[in-house]
Chain A
Amino acid sequence: MKSLKILLAGTVAALALGGAAQAQRGTDGDLKILFWQAVSTLNPYLSGGTKEVYSSSMVIEPLARYDETGTLVPWLVSEIPTVANGGVASDMKSITWKIKPGVKWSDGSAFTADDVVFTWQYCTAPDGGCAQKAQYEGITKVEAVDPQTVKVSFAEPKYYPYGAFVGAQSPVIQKAQFKDCVGAKAPGCTAANFGPIGTGPFVVKEFKPNDVITFVANPNFRDAAKPAFASVTLKGGGDAASAARAVLETGEFDYGWNMQVEPEVLETMMKAGKGKLVTAFGTQVERINLNWTNPDPALGDKRSTVEGGKHPSLSDPAVRKALSMAIDRDIINEAGYGAAGKPTCNIVPAPDIYISTANDWCLKQDIAGANKLLDDAGWKKGGDGIRAKNGVKLSYLYQTSTNSVRQGTQALVKDWWQQIGVASELRNISASVFFGGDPASPDTFQKFYADVEMYTNNFDGTDPEKYLTEWLCNKIPAPANGWQGQNMPRYCNPDYDKIVAELSKTSDLKQRAELAKKANDMLTAEGAHIPLIHRGQISSTAVTLQGVRMNAWDSELWNVADWSRKK
């Protein structure tokens, strides 16, 4: 497995070097990308979905982003501000970005500091339901010192100041286009949300929501020789297996995102020789979120909200721990992930300094221990083999998106839970609905109208601080905030909030790592979720496509401007 990764990395690097030599804009025709979860908007501020973030990253860009090694690289700025070069104030309360000269929006107008200021105002406007609010946490003011200089000020000293405007989740949008779309009016600006004007290598030509997006090369892109492709067709929909087939076996598409398919199936497809797999281990963790609030349909509008009260059985820590102990993560990995995954008990699985071993008890399945734990907690097996206490049965609705690997995992987990006297009802929901974020649908992962739900999430960049803020009490999704919070388990612990607050005040990397580990351990130990698999991102590329540098720390399409066709 390791040698395969090295081999892949080597090929990718070689291709990148080879392709950079004699490229010219628009000479390589059409690039066909397949996202089997169709894209529903191109405004990442209105949808937290990875598909939206990735697809929009071809159009709108952040000031700086992470490369495939997790290193911060200047993108629309001339350098990364540090304390040493004076970009970051010595009291860590502000950071100053210097915009590269000559950056233009695709409509020809100049990219200025005002646009950056506006982006902050847009996302932090009241009633806006901004999905990326966590990126702007703790910012008191963003001001344009001059058209090329932006100063971001923080309320408290911010020891990792590279949150806002860094990475694919925090791109800069154009003020002229979005100025009438602030606050509650944001979702209504269809034209802008479906076709944002950006600084990136491509411009939206046509957007069919949940179907196809066509892009053409941006005539005003800052590098006159790029992008090599004249247009991009981003097709959405289908399922992971057919996407894998379209790239690996039939060669109809050049790039397929997120190949969550059984490893043996991928191997069979690869034999056709049309494509190859690219993997990168970032921070993706497949987890089962436990609902700390009550999802009972009888509660009506209050179901799965804090007002609706605690979950009748998952509020018992013994139950949460037993559910985790019963799972054999090695088998899940072997059945569904193969080389693209490894078992984990952490929600922050990388980079190395943040890896905790405190909860590694969970790596070993312990059915007997789980049974004993539940017995001791007073959950007694009934005649049907299901445990109950005071009339509350350990019977859970277990939802996830439709995907054969996930349904396989569901079946395995159900089997193990059965062995500890926990019944589960499986439900799978089409991925575009489950992750679609439509406030009108009851089946979204944000609404969490179920007891447990399984999916993958990750964080951009190498610093977990922002990510860890997702479990703060005030990030709980609720009708009041349009179900936009990221705290899916509805976990709320003031001690946890304190650790995260302390983390944001700590500058020493070692201490930061200790605090992040502490927060991570707390989440797993308290059972906000059950981490299952540290997933590598696995995508497929055609053998004729060169320049792909698989990136787990930012958008996979981060360097799409450098992609080209092998001649």
Chain B
Amino acid sequence: MAVSQLIGARVQRREDPRLITGHGRYIEDRLPAGVLHMAVVRSPHPHARIVSIDTSQAAGAPGVLAVLTAKDFHGQLAGAMPVTPSFVPEKKYVPERFPIASEEVCFQGEPVAVVIADDRYLAADAAEQVVVEYDPLPAVVDIEAAMAPGSPLAHVGGPDNIGWDMTFDGGDIDAAFARAEVTVTERIWQQRLAPTPMEPRGVLADYSPYDERLTIWLSSQNPHFIRLFISGAMGMPESRVRVVAEDVGGGFGSKISPYPEDYLVPAAARLLGRPVRWIETRTESVLNAYHGRGQLFTAEAAALRDGTLLGLRLTQVLDLGAYHGTFGAFQACACLMAGGVYRWQAVQGRTIGVLTNKVPTDPYRGAGRPEGTHLCERMVDRVAQEIGMDPAELRRRNFAREFPFTNNFGLVYDSGNYDGTLDRAMELVDYQGWRQRQAAGRQQGRLIGIGCSTWVEICGFGPSEATAGATGGIALVESAHIRFLPSGSVAAFVGTHAQGQGHDTTFSQIVANTLGIPMEKVELRHGDTAEGPAFGYGTYGSRSLAVGGMALHKAAMVVRDKAQKLAGHLLEVSPQDLVFEQGTFSVKGDPSAHKTIEEVALAAYGGKLPEGMEQGLEAVSYFDPPNWVWPFGAHICVVEVDRETGAVQVHKYVAVDDCGNVINPMIVEGQVHGGIAQGMAQALYEEVAYDQESGLLLTGTLTDYLVPTMNEIPELTLDRTVTPSPTNPLGVKGIGEAGTIASSAAVINAIADALSPLGIHHVDMPASPDRLWKMIQEAES
């Protein structure tokens, strides 16, 4: 394949040969000689006072080297686990979180002791022998009850359960509602979800007391931030801590923020002077890996009878769990994105973070944007239903059409063509045909529904100006380092880190294409803080290509510019007189005079360089995007609800997305497939459920937490339009979260449409057969 054709090419993934043959390098695969195994003793109560911990029996159990509790770790770890401002700059109450509880446990699963033993079986045995006496306290479970005066407190001694309460004003909301000819209101529940990457987490740490160096291997989306946090807590210079994430078996947001074990394992390794590892079980994962969603929305929309949308007023009550997630407030962006792709006169969003006795919530695939989209798309359908207009038509009447488009909160959508994706989706799904089949079906009592979701997403975090404050100081940009070795191969380092997104492939496509060399000559490295520039910013928020990919592109352009200068010197012409094509610098008008970039690379390590030029051919670049990027699209779902059982059958699912220019269409399609499946899973199957009285987790294994199998996910029909982003040189956006952002609304809109003849206007998630059957029974009685 010609190098210049690499961008946009369906290149097979270079990471796959090792993964499909069983030679991946996941965290559990690393088992150094002499490693000790840690098991965590966790609170069985959602809320309790710790009366006493007796470790004596466990400490004497076979193979046990140490049993450690909070008092042991207080000498090793300083400060509290981090909470960033994210979208909520001022918080009312942020309970301090230490990685292991000492006096009070505030969620089921919170660590109270750890056992370190020769192997995992012995560690698990001994963990059973740690005797902890608890004095149970009332558990805060329901988020609305938690806000009421006199509610039990999630933390003893807290002022109340309100973590934050702030309102985003996007225009004069009262003026918008004053013009209303029709208003609709709805309560929309976003159930708690467990991100459930197939690989649970794991941490391995090795501390060398002689040179005071620490290496941590873990399954993470965000190794540089983990180094920053852990080195700080351990009182070590950041430069002496190396964090390595090799192959990561999925993340979906749950491997961004630091976890208790990320601190406890390295601290134990330093304390014992031996390598220590902890591998999470699935039960621990469902219980303790940060959840997502868990939000109750109340919303009111105002419109004119001709379908003109006027105002949207919403309140997001967000279940924080027992502590603020490090990036948990990011989910408040649901308020800022609740206007979607439409022109509103005003939007107002209030967000309230509520502390409960559950594991914290934090970003999960989409993080705030699926919730905002779901709310917006539901409310638009409710308005359409109220005034008797086809929901696709109502969308068209209100689409933003002039770009850049500034939304009610001042966010600037960089480019879009919302009619284009909706038109194509309606054509592919045969929208009019399904409306006819729906009408005919209704005559026979069949419940067929069609649901649209015309979504837009803010992603590609940076820019620095907006994000430095949001993280508490570190601007979300991205770094890259490109280095030509003398023999012409290229080492490329980037600060993002894939968990299945195929960066080894797509990023190599960009580097090879920019430098005009074959992909095989590019070695892409990421996930190891000992390599590349000083800081990397991780992979989340569909940012890797639009920020990290652009950092690589920028560094490659700096390398190419230097190579051009040196080529001009070697060919004794001005660099301006050279053209660069397919990896070769040629003299304009005299193509026989040329140097390949590989020849130039070798020369760069030699003598006789131009005056002032240093040896080497490499560059470090940081890319600070001037704006976010704004992918969008239209998803249409056709369902049929079985009146007798409440079961939902998806007849057809069409997704037409636009993520700007595409580096590798095969990977984009895969991301969309997986994203849709997760949104569909939320719509139909998954829910982290707690007992409302006791606060105990009811869905603690994959037997109860219903991750769909192949049988639950239908064939998906995909297409694309291409509206390049003006925000970056390659015109790219992001696609990792798009499917999840779009799909829950498409499915639920379809189900609500199917049930509308029964007078049912809204369906909460998961739309399980049980829930729907009850709703149908109630409506028909």
- Determine if chain A interacts with chain B: no
